[in-house]
Structure 1
Amino acid sequence: MELTITANNTTLTDAIKKYAEKRLSILNRRFRDPVPVFLLIRKEQTRKEDERYIAEVTIRMKRGVIRGEMRGDTPYTAIDHVSDTVTRQIRRYKTRYSRKSRKDAAGGLGLAVAEQLAQTTADDTADEGDVQTLAHGQLVRTKRHAIALETVEDAAEQMEMLGHNFYVFRNKENGEINVVYQRHDDDYGLIVPEDAE
Structure 2
Amino acid sequence: MEIVVTGRHTQIKQKFRDVVESKMNRVTAIAPDAQRAQVVLTHEGNPRQADTARRVEITVVAGRTVVRAEASSADELSALDMALDKLTLRLRRARDRRKDHRRGYVPMHQLEGMVESPETDSDDGVDGEPVTSPEAAVASDLGPGESVEVQVGDTPIVIRRKLHIAEPMSIDEALYEMELIGHDFFLFVNKATGRPSVVYHRHGWSYGVFEIDTPENMAQIKESGK
Band of TM-score, shorter chain = 0.7 to 0.9
| Contact 1:121–1:145 (CA under 8 A) maintained in structure 2 | no
Other-structure match for 1:96? 97
Determine helix, strand or coil for the equivalent of 1:88.
helix
Other-structure match for 2:74? 73
Other-structure match for 2:138? none
Task: Give the stretch that moved more between structures: 41-50 or 63-72.
Answer: 41-50
Determine helix, strand or coil for the equivalent of 2:203.
coil
Cα drift, residue 166 of structure 1: 0.5
Other-structure match for 1:50? 51
User: Where do 1:118-197 residues align within 5 Å?
Assistant: 118-119=111-112, 121-122=114-115, 123-124=144-145, 126-128=147-149, 130-132=150-152, 138-146=156-164, 147-193=166-212
Other-structure match for 2:62? 61
Q: TM-score, normalised by structure 2?
A: 0.70
Summarize deviations over 1:93-118 as a string: whole Å, max 9, x none.
1122222x4432xxxxx33x25x253
Q: 1:61 to 1:85 in 2, by over 3 A?
A: same
| Contact 1:64–1:117 (CA under 8 A) maintained in structure 2 | no
| Contact 2:195–2:213 (CA under 8 A) maintained in structure 1 | no
Cα drift, residue 25 of structure 1: 2.4
Cα drift, residue 195 of structure 1: 5.8
| Contact 1:5–1:39 (CA under 8 A) maintained in structure 2 | yes
> Equivalents in 2 of 1:72, 1:176: separation in Å?
39
> Equivalents in 2 of 1:181, 1:119: separation in Å?
23
Q: 1:124 to 1:118 in 2, by over 3 A?
A: same
Task: Give the stretch that moved more between structures: 5-14 or 140-149.
Answer: 140-149
> Equivalents in 2 of 1:155, 1:33: separation in Å?
22
Aligned residue pair count = 184
Q: 1:26 to 1:78 in 2, by over 3 A?
A: same
**Unmatched 5+ stretches in structure 2:** 116-143, 216-226
**Unmatched 5+ stretches in structure 1:** 105-109
